[in-house]
């Protein structure tokens, strides 16, 4: 590996680790923005899911009390999400993944753009167990079909009157489970060669370090600031996703 290669590898790991620590999602979009310039897509995605899961452990630990406080809420999202993953993978045979990403990108930009400039955000206070499960299942479908498992749960959570810890206690474990299943599938398909493992061993320490910086900033945010951050990140991620899909 050349010095340029190592720099881009480290830059992707740092950016993705920071955003994972700050918001609990967004690892793939940031890391792939760097890594797709130096490695094949399958290798890049295989590494991203591992980084998402490993760096996510720190975020879950920070909000572990909120996880213990509302375990049923997480299960309402997580169990249907697990069921949706293999169906999403199967759907790839009949759905154009590029068109799907364009559609999701437009939805993210429209949602993020609309709520970013509103003075007040919606607060859906009533219990919505069935809708929670539907969002979780749909996120699993999208995760299997396009690796975008966190988009719909993040949109939904940003409209709930949950604290930042309660929101993260749903989003981060949910994404870790979905992406952990993806990593297992990649492993069974033989994508984790020795070359990929070596690159992971270089990228993981950088990602873990910058995740700590993101977590430090997360702790300083108020609940309202965190909700705003999620919406702004959805908008920015949608713009990036659309740009990649169109180019």
Q: Which helix (H) or strand (E) holds 154?
A: helix 151-158
Sign for the pseudo-dihedral over CA of 198, 204, 205, 210: positive
Better-predicted residue by pLDDT, 126 or 7? 7
Local structure of residue 26 (DSSP, 8 states): -
Average pLDDT value over all residues in the chain = 84
Question: Would you say 209 and 201 are in contact if contact means Cβ atoms under 8 Å apart?
Answer: no
Residue 70: per-residue pLDDT: 87
CA distance 16 to 55: 9
Question: Would you say 181 and 81 are in contact if contact means Cβ atoms under 8 Å apart?
Answer: no
Give CA separation, 156 vs 75, 76, 121, 229, 230, in Å.
15, 13, 12, 14, 11
Tokens 């068109």: give the residue.
Answer: 99
Tokens 């949950």: give the residue.
Answer: 162
Region of 26 on the Ramachandran plot (φ > 0 left; ψ -120 to 50 alpha; else beta): left
Enter the tokens of residue 226.
Answer: 């965190």
**Structural domain containing residue 56:** 3-246
Residue 151: per-residue pLDDT: 82
Q: What's the helix, strand, coil split of the chain in %, to 5? A: 80, 0, 20
Nearest Cα neighbor of 221 from 73, 63, 70, 55 is 63
Enter the tokens of residue 184.
Answer: 């297992």
Give the predicted TM-score (pTM) of the model: 0.81
Q: How many CB atoms lie within 10 A of CB 97?
A: 13
Nearest Cα neighbor of 233 from 122, 157, 174 is 157
Residue 92: per-residue pLDDT: 65
Least confident of 16-20, 49-53, 96-100, 157-161: 96-100
CA distance 45 to 147: 9
Q: How many residues does the chain have?
A: 247
pLDDT in tens, 83-135: 988 888 777 667 776 777 788 788 888 877 777 766 666 667 787 889 999 99
Give CA separation, 53 vs 25, 32, 189, 202, 224, in Å.
10, 16, 19, 16, 26
Residue 175 scores a pLDDT above 70: yes
pLDDT in tens, 28-69: 777 877 887 888 877 888 888 888 889 989 889 989 999 888
Q: How confident is the model at residue 211 (pLDDT cuts 50, 70, 90)?
A: very high
Enter the tokens of residue 224.
Answer: 């309202």
Residue 237: per-residue pLDDT: 79
CA distance 133 to 65: 22
Residue 10 scores a pLDDT above 90: yes
Residue 216 scores a pLDDT above 90: yes
Q: How many distinct structural domains can be found in the chain?
A: 1
Local structure of residue 39 (DSSP, 8 states): S
């Amino acid at each position: 590996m050349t010095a340029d290669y190592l720099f881009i590898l480290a830059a992707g790991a740092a950016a993705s680790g920071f955003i994972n620590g700050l918001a609990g999602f967004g690892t793939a979009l940031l890391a792939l923005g760097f890594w797709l310039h130096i490695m094949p897509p399958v290798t890049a995605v295989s590494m991203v899911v591992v980084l998402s899961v490993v760096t996510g452990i720190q975020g879950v630990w920070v909000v572990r009390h909120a996880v213990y406080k509302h375990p049923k809420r997480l299960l309402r999202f997580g169990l249907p999400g697990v069921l949706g993953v293999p169906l999403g993978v199967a759907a790839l045979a009949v759905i154009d993944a590029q068109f799907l990403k364009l559609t999701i990108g437009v939805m993210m930009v429209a949602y993020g753009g609309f709520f970013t400039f509103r003075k007040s955000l919606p607060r859906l206070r009533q219990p919505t167990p069935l809708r929670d499960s539907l969002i979780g299942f749909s996120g699993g479908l999208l995760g299997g079909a396009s690796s975008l498992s966190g988009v719909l749960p993040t949109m939904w959570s940003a409209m709930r009157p949950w604290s930042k810890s309660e929101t993260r206690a749903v989003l981060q474990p949910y994404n870790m489970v979905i992406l952990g299943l993806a990593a297992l599938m990649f492993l069974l398909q033989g994508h984790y060669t020795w070359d990929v493992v070596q690159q992971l061993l270089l990228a993981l320490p950088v990602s873990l370090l910058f995740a700590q910086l993101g977590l430090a900033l997360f702790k300083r945010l108020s609940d309202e600031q965190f909700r705003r951050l999620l919406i702004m990140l959805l908008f920015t991620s949608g713009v990036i996703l659309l740009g990649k899909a169109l180019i």
